[in-house]
Amino acid sequence: MRDFVHFLRRQVGLAAILIPALLLGGCASLTDLRATVVTPNPAPQALIGAKVQVQAAPSNAESADAYTLQTAVLDAMTQAGMVPVLGAPAPYTARYTYTLRLDLEATYGPSVWPPPVLLPNGAVYFPGGYAGWGGGWFGWMPPPNYYDRSLSLEIRDSATGALIWQSHASIGGYERGLASVAVPLAQAALRGFPSEYGEHKVLFPR
Protein backbone atom coordinates (compact mmCIF):
# COMPACT_ATOMS: atom_id res chain seq x y z
CA MET A 1 0.00 0.00 0.00
CA ARG A 2 2.81 2.38 0.90
CA ASP A 3 4.55 1.76 -2.45
CA PHE A 4 1.30 2.37 -4.29
CA VAL A 5 0.90 5.75 -2.57
CA HIS A 6 4.42 6.70 -3.66
CA PHE A 7 3.53 5.67 -7.20
CA LEU A 8 0.45 7.92 -7.23
CA ARG A 9 2.45 10.84 -5.88
CA ARG A 10 5.00 10.49 -8.66
CA GLN A 11 2.26 10.44 -11.29
CA VAL A 12 0.74 13.60 -9.80
CA GLY A 13 4.18 15.20 -9.79
CA LEU A 14 4.61 14.53 -13.50
CA ALA A 15 1.21 16.05 -14.23
CA ALA A 16 2.20 19.12 -12.21
CA ILE A 17 5.07 19.62 -14.65
CA LEU A 18 3.24 18.96 -17.91
CA ILE A 19 -0.04 20.80 -17.31
CA PRO A 20 1.48 24.26 -16.63
CA ALA A 21 3.72 23.83 -19.67
CA LEU A 22 0.73 23.11 -21.88
CA LEU A 23 -1.17 26.09 -20.48
CA LEU A 24 1.76 28.36 -21.25
CA GLY A 25 1.80 27.21 -24.86
CA GLY A 26 -0.70 29.90 -25.81
CA CYS A 27 1.57 32.67 -24.49
CA ALA A 28 4.91 31.56 -25.91
CA SER A 29 6.31 28.69 -27.91
CA LEU A 30 7.39 25.69 -25.86
CA THR A 31 10.66 25.74 -27.81
CA ASP A 32 11.52 29.27 -26.64
CA LEU A 33 14.42 29.60 -24.23
CA ARG A 34 13.64 31.30 -20.94
CA ALA A 35 16.57 32.52 -18.91
CA THR A 36 16.53 33.64 -15.30
CA VAL A 37 19.18 36.25 -14.54
CA VAL A 38 20.38 37.43 -11.14
CA THR A 39 22.71 40.45 -11.07
CA PRO A 40 23.16 41.78 -7.52
CA ASN A 41 24.51 45.24 -8.41
CA PRO A 42 25.09 47.50 -11.41
CA ALA A 43 28.61 47.58 -12.84
CA PRO A 44 30.83 50.67 -12.65
CA GLN A 45 30.95 52.79 -15.80
CA ALA A 46 34.72 52.33 -15.78
CA LEU A 47 34.22 48.86 -17.27
CA ILE A 48 32.83 50.30 -20.51
CA GLY A 49 35.72 50.32 -22.96
CA ALA A 50 38.05 48.69 -20.44
CA LYS A 51 40.28 45.72 -21.22
CA VAL A 52 39.26 42.63 -19.29
CA GLN A 53 41.30 39.43 -19.18
CA VAL A 54 38.90 36.51 -19.64
CA GLN A 55 39.45 33.19 -17.87
CA ALA A 56 37.42 30.00 -17.78
CA ALA A 57 36.94 27.96 -14.64
CA PRO A 58 39.36 24.97 -14.76
CA SER A 59 36.53 22.48 -15.30
CA ASN A 60 35.28 24.49 -18.28
CA ALA A 61 38.70 25.17 -19.79
CA GLU A 62 39.31 21.42 -20.06
CA SER A 63 35.86 20.44 -21.33
CA ALA A 64 34.90 19.45 -24.87
CA ASP A 65 32.74 22.58 -25.09
CA ALA A 66 35.53 24.96 -24.04
CA TYR A 67 35.74 26.81 -27.36
CA THR A 68 31.97 27.13 -27.77
CA LEU A 69 31.59 28.57 -24.30
CA GLN A 70 34.59 30.89 -24.57
CA THR A 71 33.40 32.29 -27.90
CA ALA A 72 29.92 32.98 -26.50
CA VAL A 73 31.34 34.83 -23.48
CA LEU A 74 33.82 36.87 -25.52
CA ASP A 75 31.14 37.94 -28.01
CA ALA A 76 28.68 38.89 -25.26
CA MET A 77 31.31 40.94 -23.41
CA THR A 78 32.23 42.75 -26.63
CA GLN A 79 28.57 43.57 -27.31
CA ALA A 80 28.31 44.87 -23.72
CA GLY A 81 31.05 47.42 -24.45
CA MET A 82 34.09 45.78 -22.85
CA VAL A 83 37.33 44.77 -24.55
CA PRO A 84 37.92 41.09 -23.63
CA VAL A 85 41.47 39.75 -24.01
CA LEU A 86 42.96 36.28 -23.64
CA GLY A 87 46.34 35.49 -22.08
CA ALA A 88 47.35 39.12 -21.62
CA PRO A 89 47.37 41.28 -18.46
CA ALA A 90 44.51 43.74 -18.05
CA PRO A 91 43.15 46.04 -15.32
CA TYR A 92 40.22 43.67 -14.78
CA THR A 93 39.82 39.90 -14.79
CA ALA A 94 36.64 38.05 -15.70
CA ARG A 95 36.09 34.43 -14.63
CA TYR A 96 33.17 32.44 -16.02
CA THR A 97 31.84 29.12 -14.79
CA TYR A 98 29.34 26.89 -16.58
CA THR A 99 27.48 24.18 -14.64
CA LEU A 100 24.97 21.49 -15.50
CA ARG A 101 22.62 20.22 -12.78
CA LEU A 102 19.86 17.63 -12.87
CA ASP A 103 16.83 19.31 -11.29
CA LEU A 104 15.16 16.46 -9.45
CA GLU A 105 12.18 18.49 -8.26
CA ALA A 106 11.39 19.76 -11.74
CA THR A 107 11.86 16.25 -13.16
CA TYR A 108 9.72 14.31 -10.70
CA GLY A 109 7.52 17.05 -9.21
CA PRO A 110 7.45 18.59 -5.73
CA SER A 111 4.82 16.10 -4.49
CA VAL A 112 7.23 13.14 -4.44
CA TRP A 113 7.98 12.27 -0.84
CA PRO A 114 10.50 11.30 0.35
CA PRO A 115 12.30 13.34 -2.35
CA PRO A 116 14.51 11.41 -4.80
CA VAL A 117 18.28 11.51 -4.40
CA LEU A 118 20.90 11.72 -7.16
CA LEU A 119 23.59 9.09 -6.55
CA PRO A 120 27.29 9.59 -7.45
CA ASN A 121 26.98 7.09 -10.30
CA GLY A 122 24.21 9.13 -11.95
CA ALA A 123 21.32 6.91 -10.85
CA VAL A 124 18.28 8.38 -9.10
CA TYR A 125 17.27 6.70 -5.84
CA PHE A 126 13.75 6.89 -4.46
CA PRO A 127 13.62 6.20 -0.71
CA GLY A 128 10.12 4.87 -1.36
CA GLY A 129 11.55 1.86 -3.15
CA TYR A 130 12.84 2.61 -6.65
CA ALA A 131 16.28 3.28 -8.07
CA GLY A 132 17.43 3.36 -11.66
CA TRP A 133 18.14 5.24 -14.86
CA GLY A 134 14.95 4.55 -16.80
CA GLY A 135 13.36 1.20 -16.11
CA GLY A 136 9.68 0.74 -15.43
CA TRP A 137 8.21 0.10 -12.00
CA PHE A 138 4.72 -1.38 -11.85
CA GLY A 139 4.12 0.05 -15.33
CA TRP A 140 5.47 3.51 -14.40
CA MET A 141 8.19 5.07 -16.53
CA PRO A 142 10.29 7.95 -15.19
CA PRO A 143 9.69 11.34 -16.84
CA PRO A 144 12.49 12.89 -18.94
CA ASN A 145 15.26 14.50 -16.96
CA TYR A 146 15.01 18.27 -16.50
CA TYR A 147 18.35 20.11 -16.40
CA ASP A 148 19.42 23.48 -15.09
CA ARG A 149 22.23 24.93 -17.24
CA SER A 150 23.90 27.93 -15.64
CA LEU A 151 26.58 30.49 -16.37
CA SER A 152 28.19 32.61 -13.64
CA LEU A 153 30.40 35.57 -14.53
CA GLU A 154 32.57 37.52 -12.07
CA ILE A 155 34.72 40.55 -12.84
CA ARG A 156 37.43 41.52 -10.36
CA ASP A 157 40.08 44.18 -10.04
CA SER A 158 43.25 42.43 -11.24
CA ALA A 159 45.48 44.30 -8.78
CA THR A 160 43.48 43.80 -5.58
CA GLY A 161 41.22 40.83 -6.39
CA ALA A 162 38.19 42.83 -5.24
CA LEU A 163 34.89 41.77 -6.76
CA ILE A 164 33.63 44.50 -9.11
CA TRP A 165 30.54 42.89 -10.67
CA GLN A 166 28.86 39.53 -11.01
CA SER A 167 25.91 37.94 -12.78
CA HIS A 168 24.31 34.51 -12.93
CA ALA A 169 22.09 33.24 -15.76
CA SER A 170 20.31 29.90 -15.92
CA ILE A 171 18.16 28.11 -18.49
CA GLY A 172 16.12 25.04 -17.63
CA GLY A 173 15.09 22.36 -20.08
CA TYR A 174 15.08 18.71 -21.05
CA GLU A 175 18.13 19.05 -23.27
CA ARG A 176 21.48 18.29 -21.64
CA GLY A 177 23.95 19.79 -24.13
CA LEU A 178 25.53 23.24 -23.96
CA ALA A 179 25.68 24.17 -27.65
CA SER A 180 22.08 25.40 -27.96
CA VAL A 181 22.27 27.64 -24.88
CA ALA A 182 25.87 28.92 -24.79
CA VAL A 183 25.09 32.15 -26.65
CA PRO A 184 21.74 32.85 -24.89
CA LEU A 185 23.31 32.23 -21.47
CA ALA A 186 26.18 34.64 -22.13
CA GLN A 187 23.87 37.27 -23.59
CA ALA A 188 21.42 36.94 -20.70
CA ALA A 189 24.16 37.29 -18.08
CA LEU A 190 25.25 40.59 -19.68
CA ARG A 191 21.76 41.85 -20.58
CA GLY A 192 21.44 45.54 -19.75
CA PHE A 193 25.11 45.85 -18.78
CA PRO A 194 26.28 47.91 -16.95
CA SER A 195 23.20 49.49 -15.36
CA GLU A 196 20.64 46.67 -15.11
CA TYR A 197 20.55 44.64 -11.92
CA GLY A 198 18.25 42.51 -9.77
CA GLU A 199 16.44 39.32 -10.85
CA HIS A 200 14.70 39.25 -14.20
CA LYS A 201 13.57 36.92 -16.98
CA VAL A 202 14.85 36.97 -20.56
CA LEU A 203 13.03 35.23 -23.42
CA PHE A 204 14.89 33.99 -26.50
CA PRO A 205 12.38 33.03 -29.24
CA ARG A 206 13.40 30.08 -31.44
Residues in the chain where the model's pLDDT stays below 70: 1-30, 110-115, 121-142
Q: Looking at the structure, tell me whether residues 3 and 61 fall in a common domain.
A: no
In this prediction, residue 110 carries a pLDDT of 66
What is the C-alpha separation between 97 and 76, in angstroms, rounded? 15
Q: What is the pTM of this model?
A: 0.74
Give Cα 35 distance to the centre of its chain.
8
DSSP state of 137: B
Q: Looking at the structure, tell me whether residues 126 and 203 fall in a common domain.
A: no
In this prediction, residue 121 carries a pLDDT of 65
With contact defined as beta carbons under 8 Å apart, do 154 and 163 qualify? yes
Q: Looking at the structure, tell me whether residues 172 and 85 fall in a common domain.
A: yes
Q: Looking at the structure, tell me whether residues 122 and 93 fall in a common domain.
A: no
Task: Give the domain range for residue 60.
Answer: 31-103+146-206
Q: Looking at the structure, tell me whether residues 178 and 203 fall in a common domain.
A: yes
Q: Looking at the structure, tell me whether residues 96 and 75 fall in a common domain.
A: yes
In this prediction, residue 125 carries a pLDDT of 65
In this prediction, residue 145 carries a pLDDT of 85
Helix (H, G, I), strand (E, B) or coil at 95: strand
Q: Looking at the structure, tell me whether residues 51 and 10 fall in a common domain.
A: no
Distances (CA, A) of 184 to 97, 127, 191: 15, 37, 10
With contact defined as beta carbons under 8 Å apart, do 94 and 2 qualify? no
In this prediction, residue 103 carries a pLDDT of 82
In this prediction, residue 129 carries a pLDDT of 53
Task: Give the chain's domain count.
Answer: 2
Q: Looking at the structure, tell me whether residues 159 and 203 fall in a common domain.
A: yes
In this prediction, residue 69 carries a pLDDT of 97
In this prediction, residue 106 carries a pLDDT of 77
Taking residue 82's Cβ as centre, other Cβ atoms within 10 Å add up to: 25
Q: Looking at the structure, tell me whether residues 95 and 3 fall in a common domain.
A: no
DSSP of 79-91 = HTT-EEESSS--S
Q: Looking at the structure, tell me whether residues 90 and 164 fall in a common domain.
A: yes
* Residue 20, C-beta contacts closer than 8 angstroms, at least 6 positions apart: none
Q: Looking at the structure, tell me whether residues 52 and 130 fall in a common domain.
A: no
Q: Looking at the structure, tell me whether residues 91 and 179 fall in a common domain.
A: yes
With contact defined as beta carbons under 8 Å apart, do 56 and 154 qualify? no
Question: Can you give the CATH number for the domain in which 35 is found?
Answer: 3.30.160.670
